[in-house]
Amino acid sequence: MKLYDGMGPNPRLVRLFLAEKGIDVPLVKVDLLAGENRQPPYTERNPFGQLPALELDDGRVISETVVICEYLEELHPQPALVGSTPEERASTRMWLRRLELSCTGPMADGFRFSEGLPLFQDRIRTLPEAADGLKAIARDGLMRLDGLMGDRPFVAGDRISLADVVLFAFLDFGKDVGQPLDPANKKLTAWFERMRARPSAAASA
């Protein structure tokens, strides 16, 4: 098994997940800046040209970050980052969907359509006119999430989950590309610092 890896929040979140689980998977670096992920031989493994991708020992390839993480959790159930019960797994998946729709998805496209435009404009359809609105949607989503955090230490409750891994990877990326976390989001700022102090943050950087 090996992970085709590169720059950006999506590969980072899988590396974070691996570090939190204590799983060692060899990494194969793919040069995103040079466009290696958009041409053979990489596209023979993942025709969508996205990173990361997990190649199994029999040659089959799994892509899409959450799918990769869920597959790895089935192989290595403990420590559980998706969940140990149906209820925990449902809660994690609910928060993942909420984050994707209101925070990480708009944040990613806001970057691709603005600061990342020189890199992405010849690779995917880009909408520069939508960038500011998408960034605003992400800010609104994070503000809403901050208000929902309450006293719980992690996004889905008392346990760290894949939702925390995904959100941390995107917020850590966002702070360097013009989308820093608003310090007015005090609960999320404290959560971010707790996540940054975990060994997985340094191990996956």
Domains, in order of start, for the chain? 2-75 (3.40.30.10), 86-198 (1.20.1050.10)
Q: Which tens digit of pLDDT belongs to each residue from 19-28? A: 999 999 999 9
> How many Å apart are CA 122 and CA 3, to the nearest integer?
26
Q: What is the pLDDT of residue 66?
A: 98
Q: What is the pLDDT of residue 137?
A: 98
Q: What is the pLDDT of residue 43?
A: 97
Q: Which tens digit of pLDDT belongs to each residue from 49-100? A: 999 999 999 999 999 999 999 999 999 999 999 999 999 999 999 999 999 9
Q: Residue 185: which pLDDT band, with cuts at 50, 70 and 90?
A: very high
> How many Å apart are CA 124 and CA 186, to the nearest integer?
35
Q: What is the pLDDT of residue 127?
A: 98
Burial of 143 by CB count in 10 Å (0-12 exposed, 13-18 middle, 19+ buried)?
Answer: middle
Q: What is the pLDDT of residue 115?
A: 97
Q: Residue 147: which pLDDT band, with cuts at 50, 70 and 90?
A: very high
> How many Å apart are CA 118 and CA 123, to the nearest integer?
10
Pick left, alpha or beta for residue 48 (phi over 0 → left; psi -120 to 50 → alpha; otherwise beta): alpha
Model-level pTM? Answer: 0.96
Q: Residue 156: which pLDDT band, with cuts at 50, 70 and 90?
A: very high
Task: Output the CA angle 11-15-19, nearest 5 degrees.
Answer: 170
Nearest to 9 by CA among 140, 201, 191: 201
Q: Residue 201: which pLDDT band, with cuts at 50, 70 and 90?
A: very high
The DSSP secondary structure of 105-127, one letter per residue, reads HHHHHHHHTTTTHHHHTTTS---
Q: What is the pLDDT of residue 108?
A: 98
Pick left, alpha or beta for residue 10 (phi over 0 → left; psi -120 to 50 → alpha; otherwise beta): alpha
